[in-house]
């Protein structure tokens, strides 16, 4: 089988798509990865020699200016034509889209050539592109149950994550509470500005690793003042090792990050991005909180409440309860489930 997999620009789309690509390749099939020549895409597939990488010039739609939206729409026919050529030249049998506006030309081209189309949605809310494509897709794979309603032809299979996100047994040799702070690859200003002062005022043995984002390290290190047990980096190349090291994580609430944390049997204090599209980060976080694997703090509730939550988690060792919780979805098997379903339905 020749499969086209479309994902672009954000790790939340690209990394799950990469894992599904590898699943097809490892089982003797051909995977064509359609992206936008973005650095995240190139880094994600650089070690997969068998993958065929194709790209089109495609920008996002939602959240951009009116002019940008007009340009995106004007470029759509040409991008559909480019995808048609890719599908035709590679004798593609099926298409899987992972959201984002790149999914639109991929799906339209698939419809024109009467190819079966599959959708994967990572969050508890369908993104705009996935919402459109789901109406004529053969099946919708869900990383988490949808917040409002279930869809016909949908199945909760989890978010495909990298195989390195597996919990390892650690021998603890100190009394420090270990906390990994991450706002994603770009960092998060709210976490960078507010967490260091909070930890400066907590008189408990704590060790911190803080991912702050490009160009923000000097400012974050300065905010930690005399806090000695802290390592600040712009980006950790091995986030799986940081999660495994930590007792718990403080993070935003992107679906992929949460799936990785949960799969490593760790809990998280989630601080959702307040202006995330369709408020999907808050809904992701509430789903995880309901399963007893973390707590949610909304930014609007203030720094004093956040400080009290952190102190309570540490003093009561609530993170130990999180580590014993059982999550309803096995994300580690998600890529295999998608592969098996596509083969069965084609």
| Distance (Å, whole) CA 126 – CA 131 | 6
pLDDT of residue 3: 98
Query: Could you tell me if residue 249 is inside a domain?
Result: yes
Query: Could you tell me if residue 164 is inside a domain?
Result: no
Specify the CATH number for the domain of residue 31. Answer: 3.40.50.2000
Written as one string, the DSSP assignment of 96-140 is EE-SSTTHHHHHHHHHHTT--EEEEE-SSS--HHHHHHTTT-SEE
| Distance (Å, whole) CA 277 – CA 339 | 29
User: What is the per-residue pLDDT across 220-265, written as a single tens digit (0 to 9) for each?
Assistant: 999 998 788 999 999 898 999 999 999 999 999 999 999 999 999 9
Mean pLDDT computed over every residue of the chain: 90
Residue 206 has pLDDT above 70, yes or no: yes
Among 15-29, 70-84, 155-169, which stretch is predicted with the lowest mean pLDDT?
A: 70-84
Query: Could you tell me if residue 171 is inside a domain?
Result: no
Sign of CA dihedral 314, 188, 122, 47: negative
Residue 156 has pLDDT above 90, yes or no: yes
| Distance (Å, whole) CA 95 – CA 116 | 6
Neighbours of 294 (CB within 10 A): 27
- Contact of 185 with 257, CB cutoff 8 Å: no
User: pLDDT grade, residue 87 (50/70/90)?
Assistant: very high
Domain range for 199 is 177-324
Q: What is the pTM of this model?
A: 0.91
Domain count across the chain: 2
User: pLDDT grade, residue 149 (50/70/90)?
Assistant: confident
Indicate the DSSP class of residue 27: T
Regarding whether 276 and 136 lie in a shared domain, the answer is no
pLDDT of residue 228: 84
Q: Mean per-residue pLDDT for 192-199?
A: 94
Q: How is residue 304 written in tokens? A: 């004093």
């Amino acid at each position: 089988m020749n499969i086209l997999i479309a994902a672009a620009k954000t790790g939340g789309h690209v990394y799950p798509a990469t894992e599904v690509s590898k699943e097809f390749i490892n089982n003797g099939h051909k995977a064509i990865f359609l992206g936008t020549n973005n650095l995240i895409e190139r880094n994600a597939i650089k070690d997969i020699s068998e993958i065929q990488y194709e790209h089109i010039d495609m920008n996002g739609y939602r959240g951009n200016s009116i002019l940008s939206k007009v340009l995106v729409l004007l470029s759509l026919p040409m991008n559909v034509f480019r995808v048609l050529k890719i599908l035709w030249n590679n004798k593609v049998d099926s298409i899987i889209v992972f959201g984002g506006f790149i999914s639109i030309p991929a799906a339209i081209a698939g419809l024109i050539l009467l190819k079966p189309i599959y959708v994967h949605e990572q969050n508890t809310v369908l993104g705009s592109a996935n919402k459109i494509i789901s109406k004529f897709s053969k099946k919708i794979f869900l990383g988490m149950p949808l917040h409002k309603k279930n869809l016909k032809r949908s199945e909760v299979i989890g978010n495909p994550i990298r195989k390195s996100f597996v919990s390892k047994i650690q021998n603890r040799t100190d009394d420090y509470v270990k906390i990994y702070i991450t706002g994603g690859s770009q960092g998060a200003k709210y976490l960078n500005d507010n967490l260091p002062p909070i930890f400066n005022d907590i008189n408990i043995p704590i060790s911190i690793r803080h991912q702050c984002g490009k160009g923000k390290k000097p400012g974050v290190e300065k905010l930690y003042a005399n806090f000695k047990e802290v390592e600040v980096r712009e980006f950790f190349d091995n986030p799986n090792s940081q999660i495994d090291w930590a007792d718990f994580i403080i993070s935003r609430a992107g679906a992929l990050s949460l799936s990785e944390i949960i799969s490593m049997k760790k809990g998280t204090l989630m601080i959702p991005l307040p202006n995330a599209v369709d408020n999907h980060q808050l809904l992701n976080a509430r789903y995880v909180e309901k399963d007893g694997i973390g707590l949610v703090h909304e930014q609007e509730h203030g720094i004093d409440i956040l400080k009290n939550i952190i102190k309570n988690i540490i003093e009561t060792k609530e993170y130990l309860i999180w580590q014993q919780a059982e999550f309803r979805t096995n994300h580690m098997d998600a890529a295999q489930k998608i592969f098996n379903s596509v083969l069965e339905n084609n």
